[in-house]
Structure 1
Amino acid sequence: MAKHRIYTMSFASVYPHYITKAEKKGRSKEEVDEIIRWLTGYTQEELESHIEKKTNFEDFFAEAPNMNPNRRMITGVICGVRVEEIEEPLMQEIRYMDKLIDELAKGKAMEKILREQ
């Protein structure tokens, strides 16, 4: 079975869209980066390195140093599909990130986005 097209897309090609989506709603690049670091465990330097290297999504998530265990608390619909019901692990990770960026753009508080108890 062929890989989904997004798996081979570079993270760097989608990242500016995350920033644009957030900034259109009065949020910041720093908040987008904080969300991505929270989800993946990357440092800011590691995140920037993956952007510069144009790492694809498959490798971006495979190399993530510490996927946040609280990401399982992310629920809801993205692209018409419930994120908690996505069976393919890599697609679920990608959709978790999409969902977090959506929540940011919708004005949700960072504490809630980052699932702080």
Structure 2
Amino acid sequence: MDNSRVYKMIFAGVYPHYITKAEKKGRTKSELDEIIFWLTGYDSKSLQKQIDKKVDFETFFSEAPQLNPNVSKITGVICGYRVEEINDPLIKKIRYLDKLVDELAKGKTMDKILRI
């Protein structure tokens, strides 16, 4: 499968959709940001910098301070694929984020989403 189009998607273009998805289900941008911070190691200032620079997903994840060591606890199906079976490292990271946003929108508690 050619994933180059996904690699080059601009994070800042997708981020508002994540916010909308969360807010439609009564969740907040702060909760979404907390998930992104947990997954990537960004903080509010460094996340905003990535958004302002309009980086693509490949850059967003390659420049992430540190992927959370508990990402292997993120399992299940997202977009028709079982996360733990995805071989492409970047696509796997993107799907981790998608899965966490999906869990937020489905009303899971933050403790469960962050695998605490």
TM-score by length of 1: 0.96
What does 1:39-54 correspond to in 2, within 5 Å?
A: 39-54=39-54
User: What CA deviation, in whole Å up to 9, does each residue of 1:16-55 have, x standing for no partner?
Assistant: 0000000000000000000000000011100011011101
Distance across 1 between alignment mates of 2:57 and 2:6: 7
Match of residue 82 from structure 2: 82
Provide structure 1 residue ranges, at least 5 long, that are not aligned to the other structure. Answer: none
Runs of 4+ in structure 1 over 6 Å off: none
User: What CA deviation, in whole Å up to 9, does each residue of 1:48-92 have, x standing for no partner?
Assistant: 110111010000000111100101100000011000100000000
Distance across 2 between alignment mates of 1:32 and 1:50: 16
SS in 1 for 2:64: coil
In structure 2, do the counterparts of structure 1 residues 83 and 3 end up closer, same or farther at CA, with 3 Å as the change threshold? closer
Offset of residue 2 of structure 1: 5.4
Distance across 1 between alignment mates of 2:4 and 2:103: 25
Distance across 2 between alignment mates of 1:82 and 1:64: 23
In structure 2, do the counterparts of structure 1 residues 23 and 43 end up closer, same or farther at CA, with 3 Å as the change threshold? same
Distance across 1 between alignment mates of 2:2 and 2:53: 24
Matched, 1:27 2:27: yes
Matched, 1:18 2:13: no
Distance across 2 between alignment mates of 1:105 and 1:9: 22
Offset of residue 6 of structure 1: 1.3
Instruction: Indicate the percent of aligned positions where both proteins have the same amino acid.
Output: 66
Amino acid at match of 1:12: A
TM-score by length of 2: 0.97
**Count of aligned positions:** 116
Provide structure 2 residue ranges, at least 5 long, that are not aligned to the other structure. Answer: none
Q: Give the superposed CA RMSD.
A: 1.1
